Chains A and B, each alone.
Chain A
Amino acid sequence: MFTIIRDLARQNVEFLSGLLLFAVIVGLIVVSYFSPYGPTDIYLLPPDMPPDSQYWLGTTSRGQDVFWQLATALRNTLYFGIGVAFLSRIISLVVGLVAGYAGGAVDRVLMAINDSVMVIPQFPLLILFYFVLKDSMTWSVLIVVMASLGWSYDARLIRSVAISLKTRPFTTQSVYSGMSMRKILVEEHLPYVLPIVFATTMNNMIWSIGMEITLSVLGFTDIETPTMGMMIYWANAHSALIAGTWWWVAAPVAVIVLLFLALFLLSMSMNEYNDPRSRLNRMGG
């Protein structure tokens, strides 16, 4: 694993820059644990202060320090993304591997469900959930809902790999030596699909964090927990741009773009690593 990362960092500029950007984000998150203010405290500081040496990124109209709020919000947003990615990876792995290996009726049923989830419009459905749940729409509920919507595309990808693994001699050998299906999937096939899972994790995080930001900005989530979307929501609610407190909007927008660039660069270089043909292209072979 570490050799892979070292090789990638040495040969692949995209991976290296993605890794460095991500290090900045992790740094901010570590810093957030030392925040002198509570995450939901408001009206603690003089409002609307522009960035200076005391308040590095200024203060909001609600009397919060933008820098510390940003660090906490980034932490919550990233944990949200990781939570959704983790849960939905489990679903897509189980569905993909089982459908690919079992084939036949099991495959058809699983893929019919998969395709239905794939085409159901997600955004209206998420709004519908908010509409129904109102105040009980907490972050953990949203993570579960998003995870149950975000697995289908990757399950298809994993299935296609599982189908080809099934025809390899080592699978036949495992079957003859009496391994159970569960054992074959976990011990023999899982290692082959893990690199793909890693690349799709990044894509899934891009998707789920983007959805979180959009839902929050529109006010369709729990609006008390600070996240990246929530910061923009409150800035909009106080018409920060018109009131001239531009730093309140500029800071989260800049960090969001940074986060997405990092995830995107990582996912792109992982994809390339997974596809031997483009690796050859890069080496000029």
Chain B
Amino acid sequence: MASYPVFLLRRFGQFLLVVFIGISATFFVTHLTPIDPVEESIGSIQQMGQSDPRAVELMRQSLRALYGLEGSIWQQYLHFWGRLATGDLGPSLSAFPTPVSTIILRSLPWTIGLMTVSTLITFILGNIVGALAGYYRKNMALKAVSLIFIAMQPIPYYIFAFVLIILFGYVWPILPINGGYEMNTNLNLSLALILDILKHSILPALSLILVGTGSWLIGMRALVSNIITEDYVVFAELGGVQKRRILRSYIARNAMVPQFTGLAMSLGAIFNGTVITEIVFGYPGIGNLLISAVHAGDYSLVLGLSALSIVGVAAAVFIIDVLSPLIDPRIKVE
């Protein structure tokens, strides 16, 4: 473990590199847009009836200063990094002058709550079924369950969610299919509110779990069927160690390490999956926010959300990578 600090430092450098490349890419992609955010907002203000040319010109000047669009693109770039470092993402254009960070913070808990819970359930379920199916190869019930999960996994998520909505929203309408909570409820913390939120999260979570479990299952089953041919497992079986115990302490434990790395990747992918889920189910998280920002042409909000997702993903992968040598001493830190 002597070289652990070196590994940590190198890995941290890689984390910074990923963040740097990602955020620079988003900055240049958005700043080379043919849309002028200032003209867009002026346009929307004019549509509301404000048309005195002098007032509009004044507004244009103050907006330009506020949005940090002055100077060359390199100055804007440096300025952007400077502000980002202090956590300031500027004002939102569509909900002017509310800061982008305030708007994002309002939506973030919904996304994190829904996605982490469903990702963890998917991970646990897929690994348990996968380990069992890999060890008890002859069991018909396990075979059937695995087949169902595996067959669901390649269907495009949108199609899958759509079918669920038809089933539970129209054919057998027992679950709410839209939103994160009932409209017009009092958003004070109460038991009724918590139950309501849970009820609204069942369908989006279910869709994520059903689609996602298959890939964990396939991975775990393959790992387990490789490990059962290893000598130490054969010896344990010949030596009469209980089957349950072999599966739990000899096989599953060793198969878990690559799966944990995969967990990091999928926690990172939260920001990928969340957009579609939230659109389909009208869930009030950052995915929905991103789409409405795109439709409103809200430049700074789109930029802020992209920056956040890149930092979030890179950080998740970094943390799991750094922790895995501590969990499993067999991983070499070189």
Contacts and interface: CB of A to CB of B under 8 A. Distances in A.
Given A120-B18, A129-B29, A131-B33, A214 B158 contact: yes
B326 to A, nearest CB: 21
Contacts of B153: 264
Interface stretch (B76-84, B97-105, B244-252, B264-272): B264-272
Contacts of B154: 206, 260-261, 263-264
Nearest to A217: B158
A97 B240 CA distance: 46
Contacts of B306: 121, 124-125, 128
Interface stretch (A32-40, A111-119, A167-175): A111-119
Interface stretch (B64-72, B162-170, B197-205): B162-170
B30 interface: yes
A132 B36 CA distance: 11
A253 B156 CA distance: 10
A253 B26 contact: no
B30 A128 contact: yes
B305 interface: yes
B325 interface: no
Contacts of A125: 25-26, 29, 306
B14 A127 contact: no
B234 to A, nearest CB: 15
A201 to B, nearest CB: 14
A253 B163 contact: yes
Interface in B210-231: 222, 225-226, 229
A93 B248 CA distance: 39
A281 interface: yes
Given A119-B18, A124-B309, A218-B291, A241 B156 contact: no
A218 to B, nearest CB: 6
Which of A128, A217, A261, A278 has the largest number of chain B CB atoms within 10 A?
A128
B145 interface: no
A121 B271 contact: yes
A121 B29 CA distance: 15
How would you classify the secondary structure of chain B's contact residues: helix, strand, loop or mixed? helix
A124 B17 contact: no
Contacts of A56: none
B225 A124 contact: no
B130 to A, nearest CB: 15
Given A119-B18, A260-B155, A260-B156, A128 B29 contact: yes
B313 interface: yes
A105 B313 CA distance: 26
A257 B152 CA distance: 10
Contacts of B170: 241
Interface residues of A, number: 39
Contacts of B222: 278
A223 to B, nearest CB: 14
Contacts of B305: 124
B133 interface: no
Given A116-B18, A206-B154, A121 B279 contact: no
Nearest to A236: B162
B276 interface: yes
Nearest to A257: B155
A120 B30 contact: no
Contacts of A261: 151, 154
Interface in B88-134: none
A214 B156 contact: yes
Top 9 nearest A-B pairs (CB, nearest first) are: A210-B156, A264-B154, A132-B33, A121-B271, A123-B272, A121-B309, A116-B18, A260-B154, A214-B158
Interface of A: 112-113, 115-116, 118-125, 127-132, 134, 206, 209-210, 213-214, 217-218, 220, 232, 241, 253, 256-257, 260-261, 263-264, 277-278, 281
29 contacts: A113-B21, A119-B268, A119-B314, A120-B25, A120-B310, A120-B313, A121-B268, A121-B309, A123-B273, A124-B271, A124-B290, A125-B26, A125-B29, A128-B302, A130-B294, A131-B302, A132-B33, A132-B34, A206-B154, A209-B156, A214-B158, A214-B276, A218-B279, A241-B166, A253-B159, A256-B159, A260-B156, A261-B154, A277-B226
